[in-house]
Amino acid sequence: MTKIGDAPGDKTANVLWFLPTHGDGRYLGTSLGAREVSLRYLAQIAQAADELGYFGVLLPTGRSCEDSWIVASALALLTRRLRFLVAVRPGLQSPAVAARMTATLDRILDGRLLINVVTGGDPVENKGDGIFLDHDERYAVTEEFLHIYARLLAGETVTFKGAHLHVEDSQLLFPPVQPGGPPLYFGGSSPAGQKIAAQTVQKYLTWGEPPAQVAEKIADMRARAAAVGRTLSYGIRLHVIVRETTAEAWAAAEKLIAHVDEATIAAAQKSFASMDSVGQRRMSALHQGRRGQLEISPNLWAGVGLVRGGAGTALVGDPDTVAERMREYIDAGIDTFILSGYPHLEEAYRVAELVLPRLPLAPTTLTPRSAASHRGPFGEIVGNAFAPPSASAS
């Protein structure tokens, strides 16, 4: 049995979508065109991603988001094959409680759970949550947490005493569906984070830096993992703005930030500057808070990062161009894309219908045609009499 989340075959990729539990709309940095992110709306996005064949969906975490575990639980029975990438938070959760939550949700999802290990890079938010540790101390907690958490999910009885965490005869009575527990996804650009990734997780994540920088990061992580006798797979978090023509796509990109003023940019960048996340600093350095030159690499646009933390870049272009840029990342070693776009419901369809058929997909990500249970999709019946002729994606 192949475990969900294992690296797909050579030069193929899985594609996940994103559930915007922290807000959605037609424009960034404004309430104009904003949408209420209700459970019904999130269900629309999750069910669309399920029908369209996406491998899974990422649920973000933090005080700006609805709780990812509760949302995933609510959506579990409304989807059929979609995986849910949900965060564990070392320092906020005990490893034993997190393991029980993980096993329970994996059973509810019948083995469709993926785990995102998030250490947290916003000191202000951390203090509000009761965490008063510096950057490297948080990663030290994460290392101890994962040592206990992974062993519990593997069925072991664990006694452990570290500098930060201590358990005695800890055990998991109800196992997860996936043997050994769901695969661990993890992103960390600092040496402390990279050390943990090399030693512990299955998939190392990066935000959407230019392909050359991503290739360098992957080469470094491969060497780190090899030094401890391990191999990793690699994923990337990106936004996408795809339209039928390149001109339309770039116009949509500009429209997305049309209502963002300089005061909003300055306030957002001040907030990001207070964080001790190396990954966030690398994202912010791509645009330096300025609108001047936002295309930082061919078809890679940093406009989202003017006001949004975390993933701040988008692939912009027509379907062939976006697919070509994604293949560049695949050639660099990426086998998993976690994509999003505004509004998330409509863009999920655009990406699935315009881009996915042009990609070398792993068998666990489907094109809309192969995901469908009927003989379509074929569009509207012509003249109430016959289906329109099929059209090649190319």
375-393 per-position pLDDT tens digit: 556 678 787 677 787 665 5
**Residue 355's pLDDT is what?**
98
HSE toward the beta carbon, residue 48, CA cutoff 13 A: 19
Residue 205's CB is within 10 A of a number of other CB atoms, namely 23
214-225 per-position pLDDT tens digit: 999 999 999 999
Higher-scoring residue by pLDDT: 231, 120? 231
Helices (H), the chain: 39-52, 68-76, 95-108, 123-128, 135-153, 191-200, 211-227, 246-256, 262-273, 278-285, 319-332, 344-350, 368-371
**Residue 308's pLDDT is what?**
73
Least confident of 117-121, 161-165, 354-358: 117-121
Q: How far is CA 46 from CA 2, 20, 49, 164, in A?
A: 24, 10, 5, 37
10-67 per-position pLDDT tens digit: 699 999 999 999 999 999 888 999 999 999 999 999 999 999 999 999 999 988 899 9
**Residue 1's pLDDT is what?**
31
Angle at 184 between CA 278 and CA 172, to 5 degrees: 130
Angle at 201 between CA 199 and CA 207, to 5 degrees: 110
What is the band of 273 on the pLDDT scale with cuts at 50, 70, 90? Answer: low
pLDDT above 90: percentage of residues in the chain: 70
pLDDT above 70: percentage of residues in the chain: 87
DSSP, collapsed to helix, strand or coil, labels residue 383 as: coil
Which residue segments constitute the domains of the chain, with CATH numbers given? 14-371 (3.20.20.30)
**Residue 106's pLDDT is what?**
98
Residue 291 exposed, middle or buried by CB count within 10 Å (0-12, 13-18, 19+): middle
Rounded Cα distance between 330 and 125, Å, is: 34
Please determine, for residue 234, whether its predicted confidence score (pLDDT) is greater than 80: yes
What is the band of 284 on the pLDDT scale with cuts at 50, 70, 90? Answer: low
Please determine, for residue 170, whether its predicted confidence score (pLDDT) is greater than 50: yes
**Residue 9's pLDDT is what?**
44
**Residue 8's pLDDT is what?**
41
**Residue 371's pLDDT is what?**
64
Short-list 108, 195, 119, 115, CA closest to 150: 115
Tokens of 110: 């019948």
Q: How far is CA 107 from CA 152, 247, 287, in A?
A: 16, 46, 43
What is the band of 2 on the pLDDT scale with cuts at 50, 70, 90? Answer: very low
**Residue 189's pLDDT is what?**
83
74-126 per-position pLDDT tens digit: 999 999 999 999 999 999 999 999 999 999 999 999 999 999 999 876 888 88
Q: How far is CA 196 from CA 42, 43, 117, in A?
A: 32, 34, 11
Please determine, for residue 290, whether its predicted confidence score (pLDDT) is greater than 90: no
Higher-scoring residue by pLDDT: 102, 288? 102
Rg of the Cα atoms in the chain: 21
Instruction: Please provide the average confidence, as pLDDT, over all residues in the chain.
Output: 89
